[in-house]
Amino acid sequence: MPERILDVKNLKIDFHTYAGEVKAIRDVSFHLNQGETLAIVGESGSGKSVTTRSIIGLLAKNAKVMGGEINFHGKNLLSLSEKEWQKIRGNEIAMIFQDPMTSLDPTMKIGQQIAEPLIKHKGVSKKEAWKKALEMMKAVGIPNAEERINQYPHQFSGGMRQRIVIAIALICEPEILLADEPTTALDVTVQAEILDLMKDLQKRVKTSIIFITHDLGVVAGMADRVAVMYAGEFLEYGTVDDIFYNPQHPYTWGLINSMPTLESEKLEAIPGTPPDLLDPPKGDPFAPRNAYAMRIDVERKPPFFQVSPTHFAATWLLAPGAPEVEPPLEIQRRWKKFKAMQASADKGE
């Protein structure tokens, strides 16, 4: 059993707005294993960013935690004071933000920005920190580091800035790295480089990563485990193979099916839009857009059904006595592949 480094239990977060209470996170539980990458996928507004921000204590002022706990080294992070947060943030838990254009200080030399966490958290001398910053710049692949350490963010391209952000996040060798769409603003070729870099550094620094994205292609390459989030809830989670080859929730089917594959003739779009979380639906939140929805989906929220020891999905389709449905062709193709993979794994053992 891998060691659990982070344990989130029954997290509930509301946002106070003029229109009313937006129930952004509605009873979310998950854990992060030592050294793994957990990807949280979902559309904008599904609550994935709010979930990670709560783990690093950076929720907006109008957010209110309505319940639950986030356990990290025996402490409930939700009960920390701002003083205590400052000791953890950037030190034991670090974050990479989506937009490298806005997450750096334009008035500070980048060397200073990379060295700052070391000086603040580890009490390292300025000179020593500067040396470490230089090493880190080389590690994240910034050419001419000696020269560029004295430059300002505007002198770097988007990809280089994201490397700097990664250098800042990793310089204290955090136990948990939160990456909120770290490559969404980048070109595909640059994205591929940054993802390779993150995988490489993860091995070296031995950090655990929570990776947020809406790009299933990126997830397939980065994640050990995947959680699918929708309307403030987790609908399905499992290993990357469970989710990509043996998906059970119709929303996961829809997500996979709406991506163009090499053979697809027509894109299968998910109709409609996500529900309004001012007044969240009481049943399965995906039911109104779900072609496979049953009457019970609208009325009662499905619990998590266990598919395998690593794989859980909250859909009534898995309930005993539920009707057999035929998933989209692409999903059937993937199921077949999953069976074949299992069969060959059994043989191998």
Q: How many CA within 13 A on the CB side of residue 98? A: 12
For other proteins, the closer of residues 65 and 192 by Cβ is: 192
φ, ψ of residue 283 in degrees (nearest 5): -95, -145
For other proteins, the closer of residues 153 and 238 by Cβ is: 238
Minimum distance between the CB of residue 38 and other proteins, rounded to whole angstroms?
A: 14
Look up residue 323 and give its amino acid. P
Look up residue 139 and give its amino acid. A
Instruction: Look up tokens 């790009």; give the residue.
Output: 215
* 191 belongs to the binding site for other proteins (CB under 8 A): yes
Within 10 Å of residue 209's Cβ, how many Cβ atoms?
A: 24
Instruction: Look up tokens 């040396």; give the residue.
Output: 131
Minimum distance between the CB of residue 50 and other proteins, rounded to whole angstroms?
A: 16
- In the three-class reduction of DSSP (H, G, I as helix; E, B as strand; rest coil), residue 205 is classed as helix
* 43 belongs to the binding site for other proteins (CB under 8 A): yes
For other proteins, the closer of residues 107 and 189 by Cβ is: 189
Residues 144 to 163: which contact other proteins by CB under 8 A? 158
Count interface residues toward other proteins (CB under 8 A).
37
Residues 271 to 330: which contact other proteins by CB under 8 A? 271, 273
* 44 belongs to the binding site for other proteins (CB under 8 A): yes
**To which H or E segment does residue 71 belong?**
strand 63-72
Within 10 Å of residue 222's Cβ, how many Cβ atoms?
A: 23
- Nearest partner of 67 among 57, 79, 52, judged by Cα: 79
For residue 282, is it left (φ>0), alpha (ψ between -120 and 50) or beta?
Answer: alpha
* 240 belongs to the binding site for other proteins (CB under 8 A): yes
Which range touches other proteins (CB under 8 A), out of 2-10, 87-95, 248-256, 321-329?
Answer: 248-256
Minimum distance between the CB of residue 48 and other proteins, rounded to whole angstroms?
A: 12
Within 10 Å of residue 64's Cβ, how many Cβ atoms?
A: 13
Q: Which of 170, 255, 293, 314 binds other proteins (CB under 8 A)?
A: 255
Which range touches other proteins (CB under 8 A), out of 55-63, 168-176, 257-265, 290-298?
Answer: 257-265
Minimum distance between the CB of residue 256 and other proteins, rounded to whole angstroms?
A: 6
For other proteins, the closer of residues 176 and 195 by Cβ is: 195
Instruction: Look up tokens 């001398």; give the residue.
Output: 125
* 241 belongs to the binding site for other proteins (CB under 8 A): yes
Contact 6/37 with Cβ under 8 angstroms? no
Which range touches other proteins (CB under 8 A), out of 3-11, 15-23, 140-148, 190-198?
Answer: 190-198
- Nearest partner of 274 among 246, 256, 294, 254, judged by Cα: 254
Instruction: Look up tokens 């990379």; give the residue.
Output: 114
* 32 belongs to the binding site for other proteins (CB under 8 A): no
Contact 178/52 with Cβ under 8 angstroms? yes
- In the three-class reduction of DSSP (H, G, I as helix; E, B as strand; rest coil), residue 21 is classed as strand
* 220 belongs to the binding site for other proteins (CB under 8 A): yes
Q: Which of 27, 116, 173, 268 binds other proteins (CB under 8 A)?
A: 268
What is the spatial distance between Cα 41 and Cα 240, in angstroms, rounded to a whole number?
12
Which range touches other proteins (CB under 8 A), out of 66-74, 163-171, 269-277, 301-309?
Answer: 269-277
* 264 belongs to the binding site for other proteins (CB under 8 A): yes
Q: Which of 38, 93, 212, 216 binds other proteins (CB under 8 A)?
A: 216
Contact 326/253 with Cβ under 8 angstroms? no
**Which positions lie near other proteins, rule CB under 8 A?**
43-44, 158, 187-192, 195-196, 214-221, 240-241, 244-245, 254-256, 258-260, 264, 266-271, 273
